[in-house]
Amino acid sequence: MDLLLILTYASICVAIFKIFRIPLNKWTVPTAVLGGVVLVGALIFLMNYNHPYSEVARTYFVSVPVIPVVTGQVIDVPVQGNQPLQKGDVLFRIDPTPFENRVKSLKAQLVAARADQSRARELAARNVGNRRDVDLTTARVEDLDAQLNIAQFELDNTVVRAPSKGFVTHVSLRPGMMASRLPLRPSMVFIPDEGYYFAAWMRQNSQLRLSTGDEAEVAFDGIPGRVFQGKVKQVIGVIGEGQVQPSGTLISFTGSPPPGRVPVIIEITDPDYAQYAALMPGGSYGQAALYSKHFHHVAIMRKILLRMAAWMNYIFPFH
């Protein structure tokens, strides 16, 4: 961005020297150079601080690891990758046989336990039995009833369903594979339909000019030549490089992370973006500029430079 400004000034100087036929001597050239240093330097300082720019911006989305409640062999995977799903649609099925047998076994045990409980109560009512037998049979009935509820819950969860509206991607699960309830081994990745979050990573030097509600503009690498209007929705109050988690290692200077950048969430409000939103995948890369209320007349230069950067997105290396 700064290079574009310098090149623009250089082009203007060359044009002026050519058009007005200004001679190149020890007075004109240093004057043009020093004037450029002062002018461009002042513009860069005012823009970078009051209208910050980030060349590191990206859309983010939430992914939900699909982990079954029970472990078992997969018998059916009716879902297709990247196809729209509604909440409750079947993702895959686990063989229910062992879970059905567990439910049948507990139901049979519960019938016998309730019969024992009934006899114990009847004997206690006739003063033939004792209260302890009633308590023991009642406790067994309640225990089996709880186990049956758990077994039924596990049986119901042999059918894994979509947690919300969205889609699954990279479906590699196949019948015959084992689906595990271990959290380190999800069976699928579900992408909920809740939209994307566009975050620009701003340098800390301009932190005093990062305010919610300020005007913003976004240029995507995948949409060359276009700049979309937006506004600052939120300035995140923490930076990942400064987080501390419980461990057996003390924080040290040698292990200190880099300064990091301030994440700023931008809401794209441009109505023209709607026709491109469906074409932009989650994780799309771009640049962003924020425009504060300070030195607002300088913002025009930032807008021009952002549009020049957007047009430069047509140029990319071939590998």
What confidence tens digit (pLDDT) does each residue in 221-273 have? Answer: 999 999 999 999 999 999 988 888 888 888 887 777 788 999 999 999 999 99
User: What mean pLDDT comes out for the span 288-303?
Assistant: 90
Structural domain contains residue 75: yes
Q: How far apart are CA 206 and CA 198, in angstroms?
A: 19
pLDDT of residue 319 exceeding 50:
no
Report yes or no: 217 and 306 within 8 Å, Cβ to Cβ: yes
CATH code, domain with 167 = 2.40.50.100
User: What mean pLDDT comes out for the span 83-109?
Assistant: 96
Structural domain contains residue 292: yes
Structural domain contains residue 154: yes
76 and 181 inside one domain? yes
pLDDT of residue 219 exceeding 90:
yes
96 and 23 inside one domain? no
Q: Where are the strands (E) in the chain, listed by range? A: 53-60, 64-66, 72-76, 90-94, 159-161, 166-169, 178-179, 188-192, 197-202, 215-220, 228-235, 262-268, 285-291
142 and 223 inside one domain? no
95 and 112 inside one domain? yes
pLDDT of residue 97 exceeding 60:
yes
What is the separation of C-alpha 1 from the centre of its chain, rounded to a whole number of angstroms? 28
pLDDT of residue 5 exceeding 70:
no
Average pLDDT, the chain: 89
Confidence label for 317 from pLDDT (cuts 50, 70 and 90): low
Looking at beta carbons, which pairs linking 169-177 to residues 24 or more positions away fall under 8 Å? 169/81, 169/82, 170/81, 171/77, 171/79, 171/80, 171/81, 173/74, 173/77, 173/92, 174/74, 174/77, 175/74, 175/75, 175/76, 175/77, 176/73, 176/74, 177/73, 177/74
71 and 217 inside one domain? no
Structural domain harbouring 218: 2-61+195-240+256-314
7 and 23 inside one domain? yes
Structural domain contains residue 247: no
Q: Record the pTM.
A: 0.77
Residue 159 to residues 78, 90, 100, 178, Cα–Cα distance (Å): 11, 7, 13, 14
93 and 168 inside one domain? yes
Structural domain contains residue 248: no
199 and 217 inside one domain? yes
CATH code, domain with 295 = 2.40.30.170
Task: Please count the other Cβ atoms lying within 10 Å of the Cβ belonging to residue 239.
Answer: 15
74 and 17 inside one domain? no
Give how many domains the chain has, as a whole number. Answer: 2
User: What mean pLDDT comes out for the span 95-106?
Assistant: 96
pLDDT of residue 2 exceeding 70:
no
Structural domain contains residue 104: yes
201 and 174 inside one domain? no
Structural domain contains residue 268: yes
55 and 69 inside one domain? no
